[in-house]
Chains A and B, each alone.
Chain A
Amino acid sequence: MSTDRDTLTRDLLEMVAQEGMVEPSEITPQRKLEELDIQSADFVMILMAIEEKYGAYVSVDNELTDVVTVQDLLDLAISKIEEHQAAQA
């Protein structure tokens, strides 16, 4: 049921690059979103893409304020997507 983690991570990285308008080669999990110049307006684009592709709704709130690095964002997205998939099952 759960999407394969590696595929999911790869797809999400691509999504962050595309929606955040950053060169894919610049994105690594350890990099800070701020360094990549990914701002709040880019965040909502990334979250919209996650909703479109996986159906998971993530509000710009508590958990998202703790997100600093690309990895933090991936972890949050994966947990929300898995939560959503579990709820659909």
Chain B
Amino acid sequence: MSRVVVTGLGAVSACGLGADVLTDATQTGVSGVKPIHFGDLDAQRVKTAARLSEADLVQVLGEKPHRMREPVAEYALTAAREAVAQAGLTEEHFGDSCGVSIGSGFGGGQTLNINYLKLGREGSMRLDPMSVPKIMNNAAASWVSMEFGATGPALCLATACSSGSQSIGMAYQMIASGQVERCLAGGSEACLESGVFRVWELLRVMTAEQNRPFSKDRNGMTLGEGAGVLVLESLESAEARGATILCELVGFGTNSDAGDLLRPDPKRAAACMRMALKSAGLTPADIGYVNAHGTGTVANDVNEVTALRDVFGEGLDGLDVSSTKPIHGHALGAAGALEMIVAIGALQRQSVPPTINFTEVDPKIDIDPVANVAKPKQLGAVMSNSLAFGGINATLIAKAYEHS
């Protein structure tokens, strides 16, 4: 089995363009959540989302939108270009030795929404003829593979909020097993469209106020968008080309609740974290920080804290936990990738990012996360959890790189 290292990071989020910009925002506790207004919705109940700023949208999408590409593909391309540049990859590093694993929960939401509105309002049959290739879930992964000439395996896992984490985990496995030397891995989501937003409202898991994970007065999540892409490589190939190693990806766990589509099972989330620890050859005491799934819905928070206690012990001794979702929003299929970048940022800066908007410990779960202000801490290994609808759990573990 090859050791797998991270040599490049790229992010597009409500916090701005760039992985460093995202880490800065999470470390300083500056939220990318903004007011959002959909003219198509007669009555909009939830009025905020962690959306890209208008200026960033223009930079990512260009003045004139690409005829064949949706924002979901453009976000992934922008993040991938940044990660590839940081890693210093050039033409000879692609081809069959490089895979792409970029997940998305929804795929292209924009074209579908525009088509439905046009069909419904005008009864028009003149819809976008490029709808199918724009909408398909694997569009982002395919555009990234075309951009760089990465002709290895191209995957698109569509496992809701675990898409990004599982995509990174699959890339990790492909590299560890020697199938490919490197992989561009992560997730992308651009779901802030009127019809999509309305059905999230109807599920009633979004807060009409502020997102406050683990806090007593929590009442739901805030939707986000963006993309996170990592360059993962075998240690051997990274060393051979003299790349700067950012950290080592050491553990991946994923499993299914096979129980309820929406209600999570803490036993399964705990089993997932244990699977990742086992694959990393680490004990719970080795983990200094967990970037929680931490959506700020009561179902998630109770489930995740129960699972964390199961794995790390009742007192969660020595462990720091936070959710950075109030900063970058819940970016669904991109969430796991953005949050892994945040966790790696914590490792690089030796500082735990805070759960902002936190007001009061909830006696129901009795956890005091790193609240509102970052906490300097010596970190050797960090964990990121994704616990998705459909009962799909995924956990990733990164470690400071040590030359053996």
- Residues of A at the B interface (CB closer than 8 Å) are 40, 44, 47-48, 51, 55, 57-63, 65
CA of A81 to CA of B262 in the docked complex: distance in angstroms?
Answer: 27
Contacts A55-B43, A57-B45, A57-B46; A63 near B202 (Cβ below 8 A)? no
Chain A residues with Cβ below 8 Å from B208 are 57, 59
**Contact among B43, B205, B217 for A62, CB-based, below 8 A:** B217
Chain A residues with Cβ below 8 Å from B205 are 59-61
CA of A40 to CA of B276 in the docked complex: distance in angstroms?
Answer: 32
Flag if B201 contacts A57 (CB, 8 Å).
yes
Instruction: Tell me how far the C-beta of B201 lies from the nearest C-beta in chain A, rounded to whole angstroms.
Output: 7
CB < 8 Å A-B pair total: 42
Flag if A60 contacts B217 (CB, 8 Å).
no
Chain A residues with Cβ below 8 Å from B45 are 51, 57
Cβ proximity bits B295-324 to A, threshold 8 Å, 1 near / 0 not: 001100000000000000000000000000
In the complex, B206 has a CB within 8 A of chain A: yes
CA of A28 to CA of B217 in the docked complex: distance in angstroms?
Answer: 30
CA of A24 to CA of B192 in the docked complex: distance in angstroms?
Answer: 39
Instruction: Tell me how far the C-beta of A65 lies from the nearest C-beta in chain B, rounded to whole angstroms.
Output: 5
**Contact among B43, B201, B298 for A65, CB-based, below 8 A:** B298
Closest residue of B by beta carbon distance from A65: B298
Instruction: Tell me how far the C-beta of A59 lies from the nearest C-beta in chain B, rounded to whole angstroms.
Output: 4
In the complex, B220 has a CB within 8 A of chain A: yes
Cβ proximity bits B181-214 to A, threshold 8 Å, 1 near / 0 not: 0000000000000000000011111111000000
**Contact among A47, A57, A62 for B298, CB-based, below 8 A:** A62
**Contact among B46, B202, B206, B263 for A48, CB-based, below 8 A:** B202
Closest residue of B by beta carbon distance from A45: B202
Flag if B219 contacts A62 (CB, 8 Å).
yes
Chain B residues with Cβ below 8 Å from A61 are 204-205, 207, 218-220, 297-298
**Contact among B207, B219, B263 for A63, CB-based, below 8 A:** B219
Instruction: Tell me how far the C-beta of B325 lies from the nearest C-beta in chain A, rounded to whole angstroms.
Output: 15
Instruction: Tell me how far the C-beta of B14 lies from the nearest C-beta in chain A, rounded to whole angstroms.
Output: 21
Chain B residues with Cβ below 8 Å from A63 are 219
Chain B residues with Cβ below 8 Å from A65 are 298
Flag if A59 contacts B262 (CB, 8 Å).
no
Closest residue of A by beta carbon distance from B46: A57
Instruction: Tell me how far the C-beta of B301 lies from the nearest C-beta in chain A, rounded to whole angstroms.
Output: 9
Flag if B203 contacts A44 (CB, 8 Å).
yes
CA of A40 to CA of B43 in the docked complex: distance in angstroms?
Answer: 24
Cβ proximity bits B214-246 to A, threshold 8 Å, 1 near / 0 not: 001111100000000000000000000000000
Give 5 closest A-B pairs by Cβ, nearest first. Answer: A57-B45, A59-B220, A61-B219, A60-B204, A59-B204
**Can you list 29 contacts pairing A with B, beta carbon distance less than 8 Å?**
A40-B262, A40-B263, A44-B202, A44-B203, A44-B204, A47-B204, A51-B45, A55-B43, A57-B45, A57-B46, A57-B201, A57-B204, A57-B208, A58-B204, A59-B206, A59-B207, A59-B208, A59-B219, A59-B220, A60-B203, A60-B205, A60-B220, A61-B204, A61-B220, A62-B216, A62-B217, A62-B218, A62-B219, A65-B298
